[in-house]
Amino acid sequence: MHVEPPSSTKTSRGLVSPSSSGSKRPSEPSMELANPRTDNIASASAPNQPPKAVKQREGNRKGPTTSSSEQEGPKTPDPKTLRRLAQNREAARKSRLRKKAYVQQLESSRIRLTQLEQELQRARAQGMFFGGGNMLGGEQGLPVGINNISSEAAVFDMEYGRWVEEHHRLMSELRAAVQEHLPENELRMYVDNCLAHFDEVMNLKGMAAKTDVFHLVSGMWKTPAERCFMWIAGFRPSHLIKVILNQIEPLTEQQIMGICALQQSTQEAEEALSQGLEALNQSLSDIIISDSLSCPPNMSNYMGQMAIAINKLSTLEGFVRQADNLRHQAIHRLHQILTIRQAAKCLLAIAEYFHRLRALSSLWLARPRQEQ
């Protein structure tokens, strides 16, 4: 009688799973013990399988294979996209250069302004200025100074002259951009720069109004031909709308209605400011002549009237600010009504108008005079 060795019995028991044997042991340790045997059995049976099946199983373990389109990589953009990207990069580069040049110009202007203020302070400390910026000449009290203006007004005139030069440069760039028929997204950058430069002169006038409002109202910082059209330290915005209206055609019906409404509201605001300024002039005149004009006057009444007149004159700065705000609103409102290309033509027309007025002034001053 043949008896099986006990080792085979132990091996067969080790191959039986815990669930089939009905064992009450926990499942996790049993699986840990059974996994090495199962892997051995799988590896032992693997040589009997065909090579393709083995390769397929290895491929499934590594993950899904990539398609041919994914292996090729991202597609190359079309020439139109590349051209647009190149234009955007070039516009961004030019914008950075302009901003850098503008910052450098502001810094140099600040340094020059500081130097000029120091020179004016030294001159005033040495007694060179008398009264409202007049220098002492051969006889004491004779005004032979710089155009009979204060030091603050002289600083304003210098800064305004630099603003005019920069304005001419910006308009030249805008004119070249319009002639090159640049796209509106690039042309917008030039228009915004011109509008920002226009805002600078408004800020400059606002600071000058605090120090010497009479200099602004007199218009001595403008050329003679420009002073013919002065209105409260500047131009009439309604008159400027009339000048440029024929320069920005064709206009849609909605644009025409918007410009006409802007012109009407601007004229009404101008009329209100003009009436207020006329009332101020009449009030000042009444205050000055309220006391006797005999000489010498009654000093107590005289000083009281002068104090009231000074309080009245302090409102003149408010009129200048309101007029500048009206001009500022008219320019920016036109920009909102018009397209970018129309707004560019509008700014060029305004610049050409004032350029011709300045040229007319130069010709007038250089005209031959007949000797009497």
Find the DSSP H helices in the chain: 6-15, 18-21, 27-45, 51-62, 68-72, 79-125, 151-179, 184-211, 213-218, 224-227, 237-245, 253-288, 299-313, 316-337, 340-365
Band (27; pLDDT cuts 50, 70, 90): very low
Domains of the chain, by residue range, sit at 149-353
* Cβ partners under 8 Å of residue 190, min gap 6: 170, 173, 174, 177, 344
Give the distance from CA 230 to its chain's centroid: 28
- Number of Cβ within 10 Å of residue 107's Cβ equals 10
Per the CB < 8 A criterion, the answer to whether 261 and 363 are in contact is: no
Query: pLDDT at residue 319 above 50?
Result: yes
Mean pLDDT of 274-280: 94
Query: pLDDT at residue 53 above 50?
Result: no
Query: What's the pTM?
Result: 0.60
Query: pLDDT at residue 147 above 60?
Result: no
Instruction: Classify residue 367 as left (phi > 0), alpha (psi -120 to 50) or beta.
Output: beta
Strand partners, 134: 130
User: Residue 45 has what pLDDT?
Assistant: 45
**Token pair in block for residue 355:** 């350029």
Per the CB < 8 A criterion, the answer to whether 244 and 350 are in contact is: yes
User: Residue 108 has what pLDDT?
Assistant: 76
> Which of 154, 70, 60 has the alpha carbon at shortest distance from 113?
154
Per the CB < 8 A criterion, the answer to whether 211 and 152 are in contact is: yes
Question: How many angstroms separate the CA atoms of 194 and 331, rounded?
Answer: 11
